[in-house]
Structure 1
Amino acid sequence: MAETGFERWTNRLTFAARQGARVAWYAGHGAALRRMVRRIEAENPHWRKRIERPSVPVPGMRDLLGGVRALLARDLANVEAGFYPLPDDEDGDLGALLERSRAFFRDAPEVVRRRHAQGGHAEVLERAGAEGSRRPDYYMQNFHFQSGGWMTEESAQLYDMQVEVLFSGAANAMRRQALPPIAREIAGRDQRDIRNADLACGPGTFITQLRRAFPRLPTIALDLSEAYLQEARRRVGRAPGIYPVVAKAEAIPLADGALELATSIYLFHELPEEVRRAVAAEMARVVRPGGLLVVVDSLQAGDEPRYDGLLEIFPQLFHEPYFKTYLRDPLEAVFEGAGFAVEERTNAFLSKVLQLRRRPA
């Protein structure tokens, strides 16, 4: 049944209320965090380190919030086009929001300390022992200076809060931009027959979005962290068709051509240059010829020039050891070299979305 004018109006009102509240909540946390960081650094002047000036201007908050508004307008347009339902970001009730807020601010001073401490990014490797030896060294770091790296239950539960604060409540909307290519790809098909995987799924944020849009689509949830996979499983509950797999993305335990569809959300900027190519090649191995791979990741240099200054300064503020090389290593070329054809590339605020078709072998 076609949507009536009244239903469209109420949906737009609901969308505006939900997303406006999210932006206000997370942007407010960001403002409070910046005040906290300035206070902590003022109390520890020996911590201060010089930030290299970017080669181009950094956009101000007004420009960034304008980017968020444009993203949310596109998000709503996708809903009205029928690509996915009205977003439910599953932030929880007020009690859950306040608990995560308290946990976020309890942890923030430790994040600041690591940012300035010698070797603060390597705590997770130093504490891992034999557990860490099963994973590559590039992975065993305190990315973003977060407590526990990728290895603890507490990190998995706090990760989305930290990311949403960083992006002023826009992270979920950026992830959702992977859904329209999938909707077009599987339209009219029985979802249950499609072989699909989310590679480096983290705590399952995108999988929950995928399940809301395509509830019968089975999904292999692959990640290298048991703690993050456990959190992903908790979020989807008892829903059938979710298959957790602990593995690294450069050694996916699937047969050649096993997948018709695959997604990768915010993985490649976390990888060393040579590993990016190994992962792209492995994805080309497991996605069958003619299959679709959808990638969402950070913008790269020149993708959206007005944000280039922010991209340059980002790895200095957060532990992103491979981000500088990522900026100058276009993903389009990486995937084309691995055997994919770039069908479409679109920007989504501080992210870009690649729609990639596996070329015949």
Structure 2
Amino acid sequence: MRGLALAAAVLLGLALLPIPADAGPAAGSDRLQRLLDRFLADEELDGGILLVSGPDGRRVVVSGIADRRGKRPVTEDTRFYVASVGKMATAVAVLQQVEEGLAALDQPVRALAGDLPLGRLANAGRARLVHLLDHSSGIPDYLTDAYAEDEAADPDRLPRGGALLAYAHGEPATGPVGGHYAYSNSNYVLLGHIASVRDGAPFAQVLQRRVLERAGMASTSVGADPRDRSLAHGYDGEGDVSRRSWAATTGDGPLVATAGDLERFVFALFRDGRLLGPAMVRRMQAPSENEEGQGLGVALWTDRWGRGVGHDGRYDGFEADVRYYPGRRMALIFLTNGNQQSDDALLDAVAAELFGK
């Protein structure tokens, strides 16, 4: 995902790829291709896709394989599980409901969650909707050892929807409601359940109607059919662990998507105002009182290339990194079907290449 003369670009506050003006778009793509190829090799990843898009154009490069058995190469149309990147879509659906008066940010979770059993879920009786969105509820994570054992045995037999929170019942709170920051996937399982209750429809249908259709994300699904040949298979030290991710349909990580659909999502949300009104987009990007790097469903940061908003995701066999730089109107997206060895971020190297060191 990635003109005019360089002087005009500077006036717009943009930095172009540091390549000669007469080299053409292929030269920039070649440099992005080398970055992707080297990163996948260094991190021992099977495949990946890198997309950059903004006012100066759009560039997509792919590398490696989507499926070891079939030796299928990664293409622009390959669909990856994107793990916690999907939390942004869950937050958007809930915030639309807030805009419509179906819920309020200060409304108690207990009043929104219908008949979901919450009595043994620490802090659930005192938390409010906003505390789920910015991870200040203190509600413990359902990703416990018991969950991991059951998932490894048979992911298809795990409880569905809000019933997953039973794994967190009896676990201690991470801290006081509204008084600290602690990232917990339980917050977004609850949000997905609340979105379903408020709309009176299954969560997958809520996301389809409120997010995927409005953003034009025709190649994105909630969960995935293992027979779908457009899917990237995810690999870790155990081999193919894809079924665990394809079975995930709760609000903490529900989406299987192409890079192009994630591009459509970030532009629809942050640039074009097609998913939320301007005031709610600003509220979404307001730093939490407890963690300046956390908004409502989005990560926030300022690096040497400017202010950024987005989310990353990691689960067994898959990783994703989605960034949007509002001042540059640029989206950077990286998806892979493996787990990297280091803490290095490919998109840091890409930003340096695009915007300058």
After TM superposition, the score normalised by the length of structure 1 is 0.27
Taking CA–CA contacts closer than 8 Å with sequence separation of 6 or more, which of the two structures ends up with the larger relative contact order? 2
Greater percentage in helix: 1
After TM superposition, the score normalised by the length of structure 2 is 0.27
